[in-house]
Structure 1
Amino acid sequence: MVHPAPPSRRSVLRSGAALAALALLDGCSSSSDSGEEPGSTAAGSATATGAAPAVRAMPAESGPHTRTFMAWPALEEVWGDQLPGVRQDIAGLAQAVAGFEPVVLMARPDQADQARQACGSSVEVLDLMVDDLWARDTGPTFVTGPQGLTGIDLNFNGWGNKQTHTNDSQVARTLLDHYGIPRVQAPITGEGGGIEVDGDGTLMATESSWVNDNRNPGKTREQIEAAFKELFGVEKVLWFKGVAGQDITDCHIDALARFADPGTVVLHRPAADTPPDIWTTASDQALQVLRTATDAKGRSLRIVELHEPDATLIEGHGKDFLATYLNYYVVNGGVIVPRFGDQVADDRAAAVLADLHPGRKVTQVSINHIAAGGGGIHCATQQQPAIRS
């Protein structure tokens, strides 16, 4: 598995203004300046004071979407001379998603016209202050319940204070306010890319990105799991060890294991002949967990291995490059899949994902500039589930 050495994925500010990373553990700060208690429901919620909390559920990504949220990368000090290419990739990705469902791209007011010109009329651009493009992590994570749609604010803190996030820490709140969607502030800190659900009661996560003092100091795995169950309405959590301190996310689950449907997990595997390292070990450990695990409904799991491309065939491959097909995105009627330039591996991954999502059109998108920053398609998108009336 080709992965960066620290600091990596979405590299810390080159200007020297980066925040110092906190101490990391193997295996989490629910702080906020909002004035609200973590776990509280923001104004506008229908939850009555003193009433029992409504049962929430996080729909599977494969369910119907109202729209997809994305963000326009804002800071040259983060991306340096990669910024034009990254913006080109984001525009292409937004257009691809817009072929299946509405896209709302958040952009700073002084950059919104540039984003509109790059993306075209098929993409709605929303003036909103952002720092970077990672809408999966900075935006709200949506759940449903008896009172409709709610956004969970996971208190984004720059992946453990590794990158500037003055504006991105407010994206979830601001976006939910704009659409009039009730907001719940989580009692834990993390990112949307750090969880994966099957929509049928099971959630997957890595310990390295949650049970970590840079996000949730003093909290145990059991406490974080209890929060997952309350926030996302899941019954069972499958934990993987992950890798702490080697990429900016501390090994998010959405680059390691994904649910294709309840009972089926797609697992990232190294390319052939990859020498053993911490990343191959993480994949091997996840494989062992999945082989013996059952989901919330007691099903044994079908494991589909998806191998990464040959790094020598990828243009622009470097130390920060995230070469995984696991970071795909399921949209209404389609699946958006990365294309890296290894034609054999690209086509094989597209075929596997087409088989796993029958009836959906697979669209391959070149994202090598985004991947060079250590991210992917899933990292750059966040779905708003459609609520059936």
Structure 2
Amino acid sequence: MRTAVINRRRFLAGSMAGAAGAGALSIAGGPGMAQDGCRVPPEEAPHQLTFMQWPVTPEVYGTGRYRRQVQNQIARIANTVAAFEPVIMLAAPEDHARARRKLSGSVELWDIPADDLWCRDSGPLFGRGGNGKLSVRQLNFNGWGRYNLPNDERIAARVAERLGLPLFDSGITGEAGGAEADGHGLLMANESSWVNSNRNPGLGRTEIEVALLAAYGADRLIWGKGVKGQDVTDDHIDGLARFTGDSRVLMMLAETPVTDDPFDASARQLQRRLLDAGLQVDTLPWPEAGRIRDPDSQCSYVNFYVCNGGVIAPQSGDKRTDALATEALRRHYPGRELVMLDTDLLAELGGGIHCATQQMPA
């Protein structure tokens, strides 16, 4: 049972400079960009490929064994996804040789430098217009309002430039891991990740909601409260609840209420709001007997990634909850091959497979 707060990327604590702003990138568009008719498609829609990032930041991972272990973890995820669809790994040229030795031939390396591995947050978010053309929606990643990751702050713009795609500025600061879209006009997000002075000082929930709906081409947003300041992401939604189809949600929820746990209280409030909105909500329990014994580093089964023909999901080592997750994911994604991976290293960093991937729609 999850009885303590997640301390995501705790290895960063006190080791890096304060977050920079969104940078001096020249970006077209603005908060009125919904008028371009683009919508971010559902993750289960067909992909052209998957983007990932090669983690190298010594302040986080050092330069020795631990960094190699994390890179091995990212390579394993990339190689697994590459069995279903092409994968592009973003890395500085001086890191290509080392990465190439770990990656399968189905993974292509691009010369776009990355600092850390969290491509869901810093990578390109794609929208598709009614004419089928793609654009990149700039959410202005700023290191979760805490850390200076200069390469990661520029990844979305650099990918858009390389692909020759329009880049539209949402007018707000945040991360795609902090918003979940069903691709049919509905979003959900935790206020703590957006209505927060470390990302959007001076902006209220209504202003941020308008900008998010425009960025995703969505019609309405269901807010959860979330929890500020207890983990680096301020309680990202993608580790808590995911759309698995139109009006269908799968979320993590302790089997009984956890006293004095703000994360549990926020999750139960979100569940009520989703049910009140008429959505089908299935829940999965947090593992209690998995390989990770640190209550600050629990495995979230909903931190999975849907790719062409497959679902890549974390496996905790708790036989009972792993079996429940397997059954639920097969039920929510019939006809897709389910692959469960040991991603304990990412869980210990406060993330998972979804956090490390970003899809480019077909």
TM (norm. structure 2) is 0.93
The verdict on how the C-alpha distance between 1:278 and 1:70 changes in structure 2, with shifts beyond 3 A counting, is: same
**How far, CA to CA, are the matches of 1:291 and 1:350 in structure 2?**
23
What is the count of residue pairs matched by the alignment?
Answer: 359
Partner AA of 1:267 in structure 2: M
Structure 1 residue aligned with 2:95: 111
Whether the 8 Å contact between 2:186 and 2:218 is mirrored in structure 1 is yes
Corresponding residue for residue 334 of structure 2 = 358
Structure 2 residue 49 is matched with structure 1 residue 67: yes
CA distance in 2, matches of 1:20, 1:344: 41
CA distance in 1, matches of 2:156, 2:238: 20
Equivalent residue, structure 2, for 1:384: 360
Q: Which of the residues 328, 331, 349 maps onto 2:304?
A: 328
Q: Secondary structure at the match of 2:10?
A: coil
- Partner residue, 1:306: 284
For 2:351, the equivalent position in structure 1 comes to: 375
For residues 5 and 280 of structure 2, the distance between their equivalents in structure 1, rounded to whole angstroms, comes to 32
Question: Per the alignment, do residues 58 and 235 of structure 1 end up closer, same or farther by CA in structure 2, a change over 3 Å counting?
Answer: same
Shift of the 189–12 alpha-carbon distance from structure 1 to 2, 3 Å rule, reads: farther
Contact 1:82/1:369 (<8 A) preserved: no
Instruction: Give CA deviations for 1:12-49 in whole Å, capped at 9, x if unaligned.
Output: 6367333279xxxxxxx7x44124477189xxxxx9xx
* Residue number in structure 1 paired with 2:2: 2
Computed over aligned residues only, the root mean square deviation of the Cα atoms, in angstroms, reads 2.3
Cα separation, 1, equivalents of 2:331 and 2:242: 15
Q: How does 1:1-389 map to 2 (within 5 A)?
A: 2=2, 5=5, 8-11=7-10, 13=12, 16-19=15-18, 31-36=22-27, 39=30, 53-80=35-62, 82-147=66-131, 148-160=133-145, 162-270=146-254, 275-293=259-277, 300-310=278-288, 312-315=289-292, 317-318=293-294, 320-386=296-362
Residue 330 of structure 2 aligns to a residue whose secondary structure is: helix
So what's the TM-score if we normalise by structure 1?
Answer: 0.87
Separation (CA, whole Å) in 2 of partners of 1:384 and 1:3: 36
Gaps of 5+ in 1: 22-28, 42-46, 294-299
Aligned amino acid, residue 69 of structure 1? F
Change (3 A) 1:3 1:107: farther
CA contact (8 A) 2:3 2:258 kept: no
- Residue 275 of structure 1 and its aligned partner are, at CA, apart by 4.8
CA distance in 2 between partners of 1:167 and 1:126 (Å): 14
Distance 1:200 1:40, change over 3 A: closer
Cα separation, 2, equivalents of 1:96 and 1:224: 36
Q: Take 2:345 and 2:184, find their aligned partners in 1: how far apart are those partners?
A: 35
Question: Is the 1:143–1:150 contact (alpha carbons within 8 Å) kept by the matching residues of 2?
Answer: yes
Letter in 2 for 1:67: L
The structure that is helix-richer by fraction is 2
Shift of 1:322: 3.9
What is the identity, as a one-letter code, of the residue corresponding to 2:301?
Answer: Y
C-alpha displacement at 1:60, in angstroms?
A: 0.5
- Cα deviation, 1:68-103, whole Å, max 9, x if unaligned, reads 000111113212453222111111111111111111
Deviates more, 1:141-150 or 1:128-137: 141-150
The offset of 1:232, in angstroms, is 1.4
Q: Give the conservation status (yes or no) of the 8 Å contact 1:131–1:164.
A: no
Contact 1:12 1:163 survives alignment (8 Å)? no
Query: What's the CA shift for 1:318?
Result: 3.1
Q: Distance in 2 between matches of 1:15 and 1:157?
A: 17
Contact preservation (8 Å) 2:5, 2:263:
no
Does the CA contact (< 8 Å) of 2:39 and 2:216 recur in 1? yes
For residue 373 of structure 1, report the CA deviation from its aligned partner.
Answer: 0.6
Counterpart AA for 2:38: R
Work out the CA distance in 2 between the residues paired with 1:54 and 1:329: 28
Residues 65-74 or 162-171, more deviating: 162-171
Q: Percent identity?
A: 41
User: Within 1, Cα distance between the matches of 2:80 and 2:255?
Assistant: 27
What is residue 44 of structure 1 aligned with on the other side? none
Corresponding letter in the other structure for 2:280: R
1:55 CA drift (Å) = 1.0
